[in-house]
Amino acid sequence: MGQLIKLQDYVSRYEQDIFVYPSRFVRLKKQQWEKWHKAWESNELYRFDPEPQLSNISSGWPDEEKEPFMGKLKSLLKRGKKEEEDYSAEEYSKEEKIEDEFAFEASFTAHLDTLENLKHHFLDQLYRFQMKWATSTLTEKSFPDKRYYYDEKLKYFLQRFPDTYLTMYNPVFLLKQAPVETESILISPTDTWCISFLEEEDLAVFAGSKDRFWTKKGSAGEKKFLNPLLALNRTEKIVGKIFELHDIDLPIHKAVLCRNGYIDYPTAPFDVQLIEKRGYEKWFQTMRNQRFPLKHVQLKGAQALLQYCQTTSIKRLEWENPNE
């Protein structure tokens, strides 16, 4: 499952430390999946009290696993004003770790009779967990548009690609004090992909050209739309310039992705891949079959890009004035 390191201009935990959170995500995902799978095999997921407490409904895990966290939470709430003022960086890190470990737990409303159904449910729960990491930190939060919780293209990046792929979904770069929204960026251990989606109705044919507008031919006739290469070239130029400034050697590719239709552009530029219905599966399997681990140059490249992103957020109420 790919990792969402930046969503538009929302605050992201990956901005705090890109060298820590990707590996932490992989570890947490593995730990949680092992819990889910073990509980599913032993049917522990469905042994609910007829009138369970709200905390147990939200987690689905045995009480003994929640006791350490609840004990720490109660202890935190009982701390006096003096202790809050002396809250050290080490304690902050511990509380953040606790939140990460318990933020993603099982929640079931129906019996999952197959392992495949369990995997799908796990990925859906994990998707919401990723949205939390991509829109908040322990001290700040953003207010994401609700449509992102159901965005099919965003889910495609996060649920269909390996853990080592880092996704920037429509990020907003701040260049010369001006915000610039770009196409999505996929950072793999070996390459960086700037991707533009070109999808409407099934089996539509998109006629490309060097002009400002392309033409879509579908069941309702012909329709002109803005050339997707304009935004794609702008995205590639921004990424390339940032990589050059930070001496990052990571190949950059441009792709127009049309999974359910066709692109007719015989004289397309050589530096862009037009991936349409006929060649999509081969490209997708090549991407999925990469088994490289997270690499330093990949994380360095992601860090450089994040440094130039715009972030809009507010302080959480409990952190606005620690003296109150």
* Entry pTM: 0.81
- For residues 191 and 169, give the distance between their C-alpha atoms in angstroms, rounded to a whole number: 16
Statement: residue 101 has pLDDT above 80: no
pLDDT at position 72: 43
pLDDT tens, residue by residue, 257-315: 999 999 999 999 999 999 999 999 999 999 999 889 999 999 999 999 999 999 999 98
Beta bridge partners of 140: 315
What mean pLDDT do residues 184-193 have? 97
- Contact by Cβ (8 Å): 243, 254: no
- 98 pLDDT exceeds 80? no
What per-residue confidence (pLDDT) applies to 96? Answer: 53
The secondary structure of 103-166 as a DSSP string is SS----SS---SHHHHHHHHHHHHHHHHHHHTTB-SSEE----GGGGG-HHHHHHHHHS-TT-E
Higher-pLDDT residue of 63, 176 = 176
Distance CA 267, CA 122 (A): 44
pLDDT, residue 100, reads 54
pLDDT at 114 over 50: yes
When mean pLDDT is compared across 14-23, 58-67, 69-78, 164-173, the lowest value belongs to: 58-67
Residue 43, token pair as written in the block: 């049917």
Instruction: Report the pLDDT value the prediction gives residue 51, as an integer from 0 to 100.
Output: 33
pLDDT, residue 120, reads 87
In this predicted structure, the answer to whether residue 82 has a pLDDT above a threshold of 50 is no
Cβ atoms of residues 255 and 185 within 8 Å: no
Position 76 confidence tier, pLDDT thresholds 50, 70, 90: very low
Buried b (16+ CB within 10 A) or exposed e, 311-321: bebeeeeeeee
